[in-house]
Amino acid sequence: MKADPRGVLTGTHFLDGDHACCEGALAAGARFAAGYPITPSTEVVERFAARVPTVGGCFIQMEDELAASIALQGGVWGGAKAFTVTSGPGFSLMMEHIGYAAMTETPCVFVDVQRGGPSTGLPTLPAQADMMQARWGSHGDYEIIALCPNSPQECFDLTIQAFNFAEEFRVPVMFMMDEVVGHMTEKVVIPPADEIDVTPRKHTHKSVEDYLPYSTNGDMVPEMAHAGDGYNFHVTGLTHDEHGYPNMTPQVQDKLVRRLQNKIRSAADRICLFEEDRLDDADVVVVSYGITSRVAQRAIDAARDQGLKVGKLRLITAWPFPEKKIAELAAHVKAFVVPELNLGQMVHEVKRAADGNAKTFAVSHAGGAVHNPDEILNTIVEASRC
């Protein structure tokens, strides 16, 4: 399906990442958002609040992030594509509702413009320290999808991708921006609506008698109905059977939770997006994502100038983690260098996926600024000698 032209601001723009994310959401068909102010993310919903009345839909500023992160899910079951936007402390408050969205299979997008933590931390300065929280922050076993843009253009493009994944898999998608990407202003090209692919909601076509809300018939993603459609369906965060009714047996739990994981894991090859460069002859691979990938680019170029065989793997999808790609590379490279604006998060995933076949070097940074490219370069040099 193509995008609804009402939401698409076709043209060439000079936008910051937050505003580009908003335009991506509108282009993807988001017509409802619930938010709560928090730096450095608020510009996304400020723009949405200004734009959505002229597109058709609404925005509400809720009383806190708990409310915002569940109001958006009410909006989804009311028939809208919906999202919320936050940063560190607010993201922490939203965790329970990420679990609720995963459990109830509510397609929606959570935008997290990452700032320094823990706690109030560095409200106006960047970090990438919510990556593990995005994956594991809610209790219980579940899977989500997380995407990491590294430019305002990607904030537009990948927000659409985030909504499309959310609809296809009926899963909450984490859109993991960072303060620098959110606030940097660059050229953003928004194509015509008929060039934007939008995944429609997987709405059921079954009769009221035949519809079982959580029956999957082999396809791991059930068909959805909206309130008011006449299906009289039930949705609960309790462990539920195909009727959507609570059923608290180990058998039903096993079937449900495994399906929630497998519907994402089995499609990981398709969901895992990455950008690669000069990997063919590489001894060392720099694995990075978000703003850090742009700093790493300079270090990679400098290392190549020195004659070091170094390549780039940029994670666009952080979750599910592209472990297959890392494992393949680990078979013929010496080492991975993983710079990130945290004291070591995704580097552990790289190490796990490399499974001892290649060494792993973290280039940690507590946040508040981006890396000095020399720190990354120095680690590349060290890794090349191992």
Query: Quick one: 55 exposed, middle or buried, by C-beta within 10 A (0-12, 13-18, 19+)?
Result: middle
Q: Which stretch binds other proteins (CB under 8 A): 16-24, 128-136, 223-231, 325-333?
A: 223-231
Distance CA 211, CA 232 (A): 10
68 binds other proteins (CB under 8 A): yes
215 binds other proteins (CB under 8 A): no
Distance CA 339, CA 326 (A): 15
Number of residues near other proteins (by CB under 8 A): 59
Which one of residues 70, 220, 284, 363 is an interface residue with other proteins (CB under 8 A)?
70
Which one of residues 114, 151, 204, 317 is an interface residue with other proteins (CB under 8 A)?
204
Question: Could you count the other beta carbons within 10 Å of the beta carbon of residue 385?
Answer: 11
Provide the minimum distance between the beta carbon of 56 and other proteins in the complex, in angstroms, as a whole number. Answer: 4
Distance CA 364, CA 375 (A): 9
Provide the minimum distance between the beta carbon of 244 and other proteins in the complex, in angstroms, as a whole number. Answer: 9
Binding characters for other proteins, 240-279, by CB under 8 A (x = yes)? -----xx---------------------------------
Instruction: Give the three-class secondary structure for 303.
Output: helix
Instruction: Give the three-class secondary structure for 205.
Output: coil
> CA 317, 320, 324 angle in degrees (round to 5)?
90
Provide the minimum distance between the beta carbon of 81 and other proteins in the complex, in angstroms, as a whole number. Answer: 6
CB 122 within 8 A of CB 187: no
Kindly list the distances between the CA atom of residue 90 and the CA atoms of 2, 122, 124, in Å, as whole numbers in the listed order.
33, 13, 14
Which one of residues 232, 249, 306, 372 is an interface residue with other proteins (CB under 8 A)?
232
Query: Quick one: 133 exposed, middle or buried, by C-beta within 10 A (0-12, 13-18, 19+)?
Result: buried
Distance CA 176, CA 111 (A): 6
5 binds other proteins (CB under 8 A): no
CB 20 within 8 A of CB 6: no
The most distant pair of C-alpha atoms in the chain lies apart, rounded to whole Å, by 69
Binding characters for other proteins, 144-183, by CB under 8 A (x = yes)? ----------------------------------------
Q: Which stretch binds other proteins (CB under 8 A): 24-32, 152-160, 250-258, 259-267?
A: 24-32
60 binds other proteins (CB under 8 A): yes
Binding characters for other proteins, 92-111, by CB under 8 A (x = yes)? ----xx--x-----------
Q: Give the pairing type, strands 145-147 and 274-277.
A: unpaired
Which one of residues 5, 11, 14, 63 is an interface residue with other proteins (CB under 8 A)?
63
Distance CA 135, CA 14 (A): 32
Q: Which stretch binds other proteins (CB under 8 A): 16-24, 74-82, 171-179, 187-195?
A: 74-82
Residue with Cβ nearer other proteins (14 or 245): 245
Which one of residues 9, 37, 62, 186 is an interface residue with other proteins (CB under 8 A)?
62
Which one of residues 17, 24, 29, 290 is an interface residue with other proteins (CB under 8 A)?
29
Return the half-sphere exposure (C-beta side, CA atoms, 13 A cut-off) of residue 237. 13
Provide the minimum distance between the beta carbon of 373 and other proteins in the complex, in angstroms, as a whole number. Answer: 44
Residues that bind other proteins (CB under 8 A): 1, 4, 6, 29, 31-32, 34, 53-58, 60, 62-64, 66-68, 70-82, 96-97, 100, 198, 200-205, 225-238, 245-246
